[in-house]
């Protein structure tokens, strides 16, 4: 019988926290990609001073470091394949964000 997330006991919830941390970090990278692509699609001109989008990109990328460190410390290393999958997905998503930034020329 499969248990729903709502049925997890308080002792089981921290065991899954590492997966939520990794998912949040990946979502922040995708948010950063969306910021860059949105600016390019909207035709936002390059500015001498940084605008709100640049600050949001920087915050989204900087917020990933503490999440990644928490993920690495809380991960269930008995499930190595899943941990490595999340780690590779995070690195790929962050790489996509920086690639989009370099491609856009901002």
pLDDT band at 87 (very low <50, low <70, confident <90, very high): very high
Q: SS3 of 59, please?
A: helix
Torsion, Cα of 38, 40, 44, 46 (10° steps): 130
pLDDT band at 43 (very low <50, low <70, confident <90, very high): confident
Q: How high is the pLDDT of residue 13?
A: 57
Rounded mean pLDDT of 39-62? 88
Cβ neighbour number for residue 52 with a 10 Å cutoff: 8
Q: Which two tokens stand for residue 80?
A: 């190595």
Rounded mean pLDDT of 58-75? 93
Whether the CB-CB separation of 28 and 61 falls below 8 Å is answered with yes
Q: Express each pLDDT in 91-102 by its tens digit.
A: 999 999 999 999
d(CA 50, CA 43): 16
Q: How high is the pLDDT of residue 31?
A: 96
């Amino acid at each position: 019988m499969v248990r729903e997330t709502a049925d997890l006991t308080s002792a089981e919830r921290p065991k899954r926290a590492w997966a939520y941390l990794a998912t949040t970090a990946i979502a922040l990278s995708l948010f950063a990609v969306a910021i860059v692509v949105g600016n390019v699609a909207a035709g936002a001109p390059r500015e001498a001073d940084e605008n709100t989008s640049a600050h949001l990109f920087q915050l989204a990328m900087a917020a990933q470091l503490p999440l990644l460190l928490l993920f690495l410390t809380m991960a269930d290393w008995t499930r190595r394949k899943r941990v490595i999958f999340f780690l590779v997905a995070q690195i790929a998503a962050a790489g996509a964000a920086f690639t989009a930034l370099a491609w856009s020329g901002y």
